[in-house]
Amino acid sequence: MFTNNRDLKFNELNLEFLKRFESHHLSKPGNTINGIASYMRTIKAIHNKGIKVGLVDESLYPFKYYTIKTKPTEKRAIKIESIKKIVEMETKTGSNHFSLSQ
């Protein structure tokens, strides 16, 4: 684990830490930009909550200079044309297909 299972203090979550964490994550096979973005959004939310409740000073906010990067993902949903073909498909009684109009 990146932090050796050690809890971090808010003042340790600085820009240098974020950059090292990103590099470490991306050095592992199979890890992606969008994967690290998910972690960074969580860290950012925790840091924002810490500021809101007064646990950390706003001047220590590391996301002022760090941008969470993402890449567009490949669309995985079925195309609307395919759904229409299924809905409009006619079947014969006794076939292995079913009809949505029955």
- Give pLDDT, residue 92: 73
Residue 28 lies in a domain: yes
Residue 16 lies in a domain: yes
Distance, CA of 3 to CA of 77 (rounded, Å): 37
pTM, entire model: 0.69
Q: Which domain holds residue 59?
A: 10-73
Number of domains in the chain: 1
Residue 25 lies in a domain: yes
- pLDDT < 70: residue spans in the chain: 97-102
pLDDT digits (tens, 9 = 90+) for 50-61: 999 999 999 999
Residue 86 lies in a domain: no
Closest CA to 40 of 21, 64, 59: 21
Residue 85 lies in a domain: no
- Give pLDDT, residue 2: 82
Residue 43 lies in a domain: yes
